[in-house]
């Protein structure tokens, strides 16, 4: 069975080297919608794959990090990167170009790591990321499956260590060490009730 939770955020970027000139040569923003789909063949004590309420903790906080932020590619022009970091206190640097496709891979990998670290306290079993859909506009989206997220050879390597959140973004997390914990694969313990 698959369940799906929707997240929304506003974000600015430039996507270098693409064919659409407006996209590759001008800073612009989108009202993103992100669908995280989880699957399992089991149900927990509440007869759910994974409580939607639990999906409003770390997963929501990490996706919301991108809200009112600018996303930059680590390989972009140094002057542009410094400008973005100087004039926006909320920025994220990615090791890949911030296309809808790469956003969907980034979110897949992040949610995959959250689930890997998460303690399951309500008899949830084998909860996996099925796919992540990133809607960049009302008319265009990318959907990432596991084989895409880990397709480092053809789609570019994404190491979580290479995703950098600005200090301001980290300060707004309920646990300022959340990202470090995920990088170190430390256990995340959710509250017994949300
Ligand atoms: N496959 C992709 N194509 C494009 C991406 C992308 O991430 N993946 N991104 C862009 C731009 O960011 C652009 O802003 C969105 O392009 P587009 O769909 O053309 O936007 P519109 O709002 O103009 O779409 P309409 O359908 O005309 O309303 C470009 N391509």
Ligand 1 atom with the smallest distance to the CA of 99 is 7
Give the model confidence (pLDDT) of 54-113 as tens digits: 999 999 999 999 999 999 999 999 999 999 999 999 999 999 999 999 999 999 999 999
Is residue 68 annotated as a catalytic residue, yes or no? yes
pLDDT for res 60: 98
Angular region, 123: left φ>0, alpha ψ -120 to 50, beta rest: left
User: For the whole model, what pTM was predicted?
Assistant: 0.97
| % of the chain residues with pLDDT over 70 | 100
Angular region, 126: left φ>0, alpha ψ -120 to 50, beta rest: left
Task: Examine residue 188 and state whether it is found in any structural domain, yes or no.
Answer: no
Task: Examine residue 192 and state whether it is found in any structural domain, yes or no.
Answer: no
- Host domain of residue 56: 2-183
Q: Is 140 in the pocket of ligand 1 (CB under 6 A)?
A: yes
Task: Examine residue 43 and state whether it is found in any structural domain, yes or no.
Answer: yes
Task: Examine residue 191 and state whether it is found in any structural domain, yes or no.
Answer: no
pLDDT for res 88: 98
Distance 144 CA to ligand 1 centre (A): 17
Residue pair 38/126 in contact by the 8 Å Cβ criterion? no
Q: What is the count of structural domains for the chain?
A: 1
Task: Examine residue 82 and state whether it is found in any structural domain, yes or no.
Answer: yes
- CATH number for the domain including 91? 3.30.479.10
Task: Examine residue 93 and state whether it is found in any structural domain, yes or no.
Answer: yes
pLDDT for res 10: 98
Task: Examine residue 190 and state whether it is found in any structural domain, yes or no.
Answer: no
Q: Output the CA torsion sign for 47, 52, 57, 61.
A: positive
Predicted complex ipTM exceeds 0.90: yes
pLDDT for res 116: 98
């Amino acid at each position: 069975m698959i369940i799906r939770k929707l997240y929304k955020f506003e974000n600015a970027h430039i996507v270098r080297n693409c064919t659409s000139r407006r996209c590759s040569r001008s800073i612009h923003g989108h009202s993103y919608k992100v669908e995280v789909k989880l699957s399992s063949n089991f149900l927990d004590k509440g007869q759910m794959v994974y409580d939607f309420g639990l999906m409003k903790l770390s997963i929501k906080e990490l996706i919301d990090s991108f809200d009112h932020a600018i996303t930059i590619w680590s390989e972009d022009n140094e002057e542009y990167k410094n400008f973005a970091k100087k004039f926006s206190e909320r920025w994220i640097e990615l090791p890949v170009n911030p296309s809808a496709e790469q956003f969907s891979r980034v979110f897949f990998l992040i949610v995959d790591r959250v689930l890997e670290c998460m303690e399951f306290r309500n008899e949830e079993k084998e909860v996996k990321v099925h796919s992540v859909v990133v809607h960049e506009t009302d008319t265009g989206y990318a959907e990432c499956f596991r084989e895409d997220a880990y397709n480092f050879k053809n789609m570019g390597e994404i190491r979580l260590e290479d995703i950098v959140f600005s200090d301001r973004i980290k300060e707004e997390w309920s646990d300022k060490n959340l990202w470090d914990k995920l990088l170190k694969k430390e256990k995340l313990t959710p509250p017994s009730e949300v």
